[in-house]
Structure 1
Amino acid sequence: MVSNHFENAHPLEDIKNVGIFKGITILVVDDNQDILVLISRVLKKYGIQVMTASSALEAFEAIKRCKLDLLISDIDMLGESGYSLIQKVRAINSVQIREIPAIAFSGNAEDNAHTKALASGFQTYMKKPSNPTQLIIEVAKLLRCPSKKSSSLFGDYSRV
């Protein structure tokens, strides 16, 4: 079931230059179809191309086949976990694949979930449910680099 609050949210609505995400492809991985729909809707509002996978195995195959700019993965999935997925990605020979920025997006209630996610190879951890504005900010932070247009729009939030 899609939450109307989340579905109708327009994160960062006041930002005029939403074209900064044009050409960006993000893979969202979750075994919960509702979460895949919610995150996809938010990202697509910014012109982001979204691919989805409902398992770590499906995601890993997509990662090897497609050029991605960012990975957003659940941690606790049936079968293989998001921790295992990111560790396999970080161990791959291709630098382009191995260095894909990644967000752990999980409802994991463990006290050390954030620390474990970072130690596994994710750049950041977001707890479900999350604010769509915060999701877009995290995406922009991870995509920011000198060659990306997004660097001038979003400041350095790393100390926030």
Structure 2
Amino acid sequence: MQPPFPLAGLSILVVEDDDDSRFFITTVLEADGATVVAVPSAVAALKVLPELQPDVLVSDISMPGEDGYSLIRKIRALKPDVGGRVLAIALTAHGDRESCVRALESGFQTHVSKPVDPKDLVEIVANLVACCNW
């Protein structure tokens, strides 16, 4: 049986340029116990990451300006003590194999196609933390 708040105690940074999507993802994750900071861009994410030190990053891939691939490459270049090893989930409207491979090669641990079911999102985050917390 799943605990009532499977994400309790987790800090999650959500990077999503679409206001409605950012609100939806934040609401879903907070409803299951996570503490969420949501920002609209890669630039904003890089500003808050060192201080926030989230357990998980959930990032859209297709964003204006700097995309999610560029963001995760910059994050992976950081030292671990400033967020360089944060667990990361790529969110994208592209569910094809090429997009998945590119996300993994860029530094994400997993790739999720939008729209994502709320229960699936919570399960993906919880499973990622349970099995891959490095």
TM-score if structure 1 supplies the norm length?
A: 0.76
Does 1:37 find its partner at 2:27? Answer: no
Q: Percent sequence identity over matched residues?
A: 37
Q: Tell me which moved more, 72-81 or 108-117.
A: 108-117
- Which has the higher relative contact order, 1 or 2, with Cα contacts under 8 A spaced 6 or more apart? 2
C-alpha contact 1:106 1:128 (8 A) present in aligned 2 = yes
| Residue-by-residue CA offset, 1:90-123 (whole Å, 9 max, x unaligned) | 0002356111100001113665110000000000
State the secondary structure of the residue aligned to 1:79: coil
* Alignment partner, residue 130 of structure 2: 144
Hey, what's the Cα distance between the residues in 2 that align with 1:53 and 1:82? 13
Query: How much is the aligned-residue C-alpha RMSD, in angstroms?
Result: 2.0
Hey, what's the Cα distance between the residues in 2 that align with 1:131 and 1:93? 33
Specify which of 9, 27, 47 is matched with residue 23 of structure 1. Answer: 9
Hey, what's the Cα distance between the residues in 1 that align with 2:113 and 2:102? 13
| Structure showing greater Rg | 1
Aligned pair in 2 of structure 1 residues 145, 118: CA closer, same or farther (>3 Å)? Answer: closer
Does 1:70 find its partner at 2:56? Answer: yes
Unmatched runs of 5 consecutive residues or more in structure 2:
none
Hey, what's the Cα distance between the residues in 2 that align with 1:21 and 1:59? 21
Hey, what's the Cα distance between the residues in 2 that align with 1:132 and 1:97? 26
C-alpha contact 2:41 2:66 (8 A) present in aligned 1 = yes
Does 1:55 find its partner at 2:3? Answer: no
Aligned pair in 2 of structure 1 residues 146, 57: CA closer, same or farther (>3 Å)? Answer: closer
C-alpha contact 1:76 1:108 (8 A) present in aligned 2 = no
Hey, what's the Cα distance between the residues in 2 that align with 1:146 and 1:82? 20
